[in-house]
Structure 1
């Protein structure tokens, strides 16, 4: 867990504190966790916003009064501005910062931290969710923000908050309540159970019922009883109502007239809710084949997502980076009367989104590049009766794009590359020497006279050591191995710092790039399988088919736009045809999410 830096003035401002001005900061190296007294004109709000929704006016007035009398006691947390040298962004402590501005103070105590965008958001969330005075709605907001931070992983969000999944789900359910219902709960006018009962209903019905609850002082039991008598028009059901025709809860007694009667109602709200939820779960599963990750609309705050499109980030970034990225999700509405409506292409990584938008506007490349190699489709050949096609033979470097690949695809790709690496590296003299020398040096602390070799190497350095060794003459390496063994014997009392056992897979995979023909080895290792293709979305499969030349080959054999029609029929059929259609995949590997798993050679 990140330290939010919420120290008192007595501990945060000490002998090392100093007043920093823009001119002074430009001439010094700012260290992380440096405690300073910063001028307010050096500060600016965090570019990605504040995760806190609202501020209590009364408590803010108390804060201003305290600062007016005693100054700022608790340090705010800032990070160096990523672009404006000498300036800082306020990450935590916005209330203290804004109050100081309003009181026209000149300086403020600050803890300087070097944080990425994600770490900065995390610090904000920690500060805003670790308050003693959180209301139930505040807790619900915290649950939603942490769920957005972990991109829909409920278990991770619950663990971070120290809650169980049930508590997290109950708090999220409160966010389905209308604003008046949430405010009434915060004000103590209704109980949490009242709000939970109201949550599934439409906003109009919630607000109308709320007025009666307060005016007539309905108990939870009374509300539950009244809610149980609510009737739903069957014509508005999302699920198949065929089985409802003979149900005793159907108000239309004549089953033969059921299908023609738009006034037939279901008087069993519990059954209605269960069937609607089952339908929603089925639709969500189908949507995941098309969009990848699908979350409920109420799980992600509007401020925690950005609609992403080609117009925002550029065509290439959108198609090859954002499509299939694990941070690009679809949201499905589950509110009463809007069930199943999809809001697609919602980016949950605010930092990456901002960088991609900026890169598009400036014509540069985003800061989260991947090594991408896209084969040409010019050499694909087909016949009208039996197609025998080939992917391109010469990989080419394409523009870098920002993308987080789905973990299942990564696992399959990593396994293929690891197996390929084992096959070629275990017979490579340089690699074997590198492993031996690297482990000896990690174990003993010996440092060969090779350029770039780290002092006091640890287990995490192993793959770098192997790559450095593979660049040396074998005779020189052998001599160093002998010296390392001697050093190990002489320095046997040295502390065991090996820690290398957990890095072997990482070592094998990343050492591939030290070979002259590693790209060809990696391409040969990539094999299309049902497991691999099923882990992709339809959009990603379309990208693979387009890059490889499969689309051109398939359309030639089956007619213009044949592939588009195929992709529109669902993922299962698309995967089956892509595997069964006669096409030579041997010279192809995906442009993103594959080659970037191998680190570039050490220089």
Structure 2
């Protein structure tokens, strides 16, 4: 028997190693709980089914542990293989288990779907919406990821405004419905889409894409249904009161004024939703997004009973990822849903945390009830023993028995209190999860910074500590310890005395002046020196022809320095004519030793190249 086959119904997949290859019953593999791009037409060719029947499933399915049920899995890639295995009654299939979060799982699913050879235009529309959601509404990035132009991507995304009936018909090759039909239908409301769909299927020769576009452009939309301000419409040439419907299969008894420019009507409605309506909802309920940014499959309604009252009130209500969703589809303009969580990973973790917490509370309660029962039984047994002893004439008096019984009862009460305290501790130990909005975070930081500034800006300790920390941070001074940030350095300096701060400031300045390589320290020191009146004098005094310094020059350069400085004249005066030329016939090491040991005052000399750097 294959040891990798998991047959235990209580097997905990959440504890399995990431990337583990095992075999499982295909019926325990659920559809991915996020993303809406599962195949609409799941029928498989006989050839495909025969291949699996004969050879089995050769390519492993990609799965992850079910976030809400550790004994089941969720399918990331391999829907066709999983469904075929179930259809053929195969008892186990090969899978690779990855501990994907929702984003990673969706990316794995999209990557497989994107590479399929039999991908349909509806599949592409599903993919477009998923990528649009994955990029949080970044159309350019989503189109790039899908590998299509932005124009094509918009068309695919537009198809997602069709009803499920239209999309199913478009995915079904046996119907006459084309992508052109669907794009026109996507501009209609739900009821009109389905009515028109029936008409196309019944009479495809009449309702061609061209004919449908003509009728759609000439259809009349009741201005009474317009969500936007209709002031401009009152004098518009496209405003008519005529009762006319060019959709021959549709009855229209609305006698109100109508708009004969549906493109303009639709544009104004969408603009109203995206601006006026969205702003009003945001002002009252908080962050609001358009419905297509996060489809139903990529968000979850936040419910108190799912995450627990503490998490809901303390975390979810103020979380950046709890949003409202407003609709801009025809006849749904401005409809909105509240309390939608767009961080599905976090939400599932909150749900799981509540479940685990409730399970722990239940376990403790059962243990507490059992211990209470045992304590009460032991107490009853002890009381009976004492009572029998007293009746048999033992040494136990009535008062002693009463005192002992009182002590026993107190012991039972203590046991009960101790167990209840453990249960209460579990209830109170709850870590709230929430992502604060950027605006709130920035405002909180501003408040705290202002409070800190008012408290510390005039504090001598803080002023000196910050000065020292800034100096150490900019110079690389390490005597205060190794710190990666100015914040850490300042905290360390705040613990020092004023005297120690002053001492370190002196050392830090000396370190920067003589040793530091930070912030172009050498350039800074040269620049400051050049600004002094006696910079050239100081430079000349500092330059001395040591062995180490002369070693960086060649013999000809050293001879030139000695001639320019007057050294050659002084050397020959002491050693005789021709001695200078004789000196430079020696090895370089001997030359430098002779020069450095010769008693000559170099104070008023420095190489011209050095002086030129004093700009």
TM-score, with length taken from structure 2: 0.54
Matched, 1:287 2:281: yes
- Give per-residue Cα distances to partners, 1:193-245, cap 9 Å, x unaligned: 32222212122222332344451343433222211221122233222333333
**What displacement does 1:68 show?**
1.9
Task: Give the equivalent residue in structure 2 for 1:172.
Answer: 157
Equivalent of 2:224 in 225, 235, 239: 235
Q: Assess, with a 3 A threshold, how the Cα gap between structure 1 residues 87 and 317 changes in structure 2: closer, same or farther.
A: closer
**What displacement does 1:273 show?**
2.3
> Is contact 1:249-1:268 (8 Å) kept?
yes
Task: Give the equivalent residue in structure 2 for 1:134.
Answer: 119
Q: Assess, with a 3 A threshold, how the Cα gap between structure 1 residues 47 and 141 changes in structure 2: closer, same or farther.
A: closer
Q: Describe the SS at the equivalent of 1:127.
A: helix
Q: Assess, with a 3 A threshold, how the Cα gap between structure 1 residues 217 and 39 changes in structure 2: closer, same or farther.
A: same
Matched, 1:402 2:391: no
Task: Give the equivalent residue in structure 2 for 1:347.
Answer: 341
- Give per-residue Cα distances to partners, 1:477-525, cap 9 Å, x unaligned: x9xxxxxx9xxx9xxxxxxxxxxxxxxxxxxxxxxxxxxxxxxxxxxxx
When the two chains are superposed, the root-mean-square deviation of aligned CA atoms in Å is 5.1
Q: Assess, with a 3 A threshold, how the Cα gap between structure 1 residues 278 and 213 changes in structure 2: closer, same or farther.
A: same
What are the equivalent positions in structure 2 for 1:466-481 lying under 5 Å apart?
none
Q: Assess, with a 3 A threshold, how the Cα gap between structure 1 residues 342 and 112 changes in structure 2: closer, same or farther.
A: closer
Task: Give the equivalent residue in structure 1 for 2:192.
Answer: 205
Q: Describe the SS at the equivalent of 1:120.
A: helix
Q: Which moved more, 1:335-344 or 1:187-196?
A: 187-196
Task: Give the equivalent residue in structure 2 for 1:315.
Answer: 309
**What displacement does 1:155 show?**
4.4
> Is contact 2:222-2:256 (8 Å) kept?
yes
Equivalent of 2:328 in 318, 323, 334: 334
Q: Assess, with a 3 A threshold, how the Cα gap between structure 1 residues 399 and 39 changes in structure 2: closer, same or farther.
A: closer
**What displacement does 1:143 show?**
2.0
- Give per-residue Cα distances to partners, 1:351-401, cap 9 Å, x unaligned: 222232343455469xxxxxxxxxxxxxxxxxxxxxxxxxxxxxxx99532
Q: Assess, with a 3 A threshold, how the Cα gap between structure 1 residues 348 and 63 changes in structure 2: closer, same or farther.
A: farther
What are the equivalent positions in structure 2 for 1:548-559 lying under 5 Å apart?
none
> Is contact 2:34-2:102 (8 Å) kept?
no
Task: Give the equivalent residue in structure 2 for 1:264.
Answer: 257
Q: What runs of 5+ residues in structure 2 fail to find an aligned partner?
A: 243-253, 360-427, 505-510, 516-615
> Is contact 1:434-1:465 (8 Å) kept?
no
Q: Describe the SS at the equivalent of 2:62.
A: strand
Q: Describe the SS at the equivalent of 2:181.
A: helix
Q: Assess, with a 3 A threshold, how the Cα gap between structure 1 residues 287 and 105 changes in structure 2: closer, same or farther.
A: same
> Is contact 1:48-1:350 (8 Å) kept?
no
Q: Assess, with a 3 A threshold, how the Cα gap between structure 1 residues 273 and 110 changes in structure 2: closer, same or farther.
A: closer
> Is contact 2:273-2:334 (8 Å) kept?
yes
**What displacement does 1:174 show?**
0.8
Residues in 1 aligned to 2:237 and 2:71: alpha-carbon distance in whole angstroms? 73
Q: Assess, with a 3 A threshold, how the Cα gap between structure 1 residues 314 and 131 changes in structure 2: closer, same or farther.
A: same
Matched, 1:91 2:122: no
> Is contact 1:51-1:121 (8 Å) kept?
no
> Is contact 2:65-2:97 (8 Å) kept?
yes
**What displacement does 1:135 show?**
1.5
Q: How many equivalent pairs are there?
A: 408
> Is contact 2:65-2:74 (8 Å) kept?
yes
Residues in 2 aligned to 1:164 and 1:359: alpha-carbon distance in whole angstroms? 43
> Is contact 2:319-2:434 (8 Å) kept?
yes
Q: Describe the SS at the equivalent of 2:43.
A: helix
Residues in 2 aligned to 1:120 and 1:464: alpha-carbon distance in whole angstroms? 40
Q: Which moved more, 1:186-195 or 1:347-356?
A: 186-195
Task: Give the equivalent residue in structure 2 for 1:246.
Answer: 235
Q: Describe the SS at the equivalent of 2:239.
A: coil
Task: Give the equivalent residue in structure 2 for 1:301.
Answer: 295
Residues in 2 aligned to 1:59 and 1:271: alpha-carbon distance in whole angstroms? 44
Q: What runs of 5+ residues in structure 1 fail to find an aligned partner?
A: 1-16, 254-260, 366-396, 441-449, 454-460, 479-484, 490-603
Matched, 1:276 2:262: no
Q: Assess, with a 3 A threshold, how the Cα gap between structure 1 residues 61 and 404 changes in structure 2: closer, same or farther.
A: farther
**What displacement does 1:84 show?**
8.2
Q: Which moved more, 1:174-183 or 1:136-145?
A: 174-183
Task: Give the equivalent residue in structure 1 for 2:131.
Answer: 146
Q: Assess, with a 3 A threshold, how the Cα gap between structure 1 residues 162 and 294 changes in structure 2: closer, same or farther.
A: farther
> Is contact 2:26-2:82 (8 Å) kept?
no
Residues in 1 aligned to 2:469 and 2:46: alpha-carbon distance in whole angstroms? 66
> Is contact 1:332-1:341 (8 Å) kept?
yes
TM-score, with length taken from structure 1: 0.55
Task: Give the equivalent residue in structure 2 for 1:600.
Answer: none
Task: Give the equivalent residue in structure 1 for 2:465.
Answer: 427
Equivalent of 2:182 in 195, 220, 231: 195
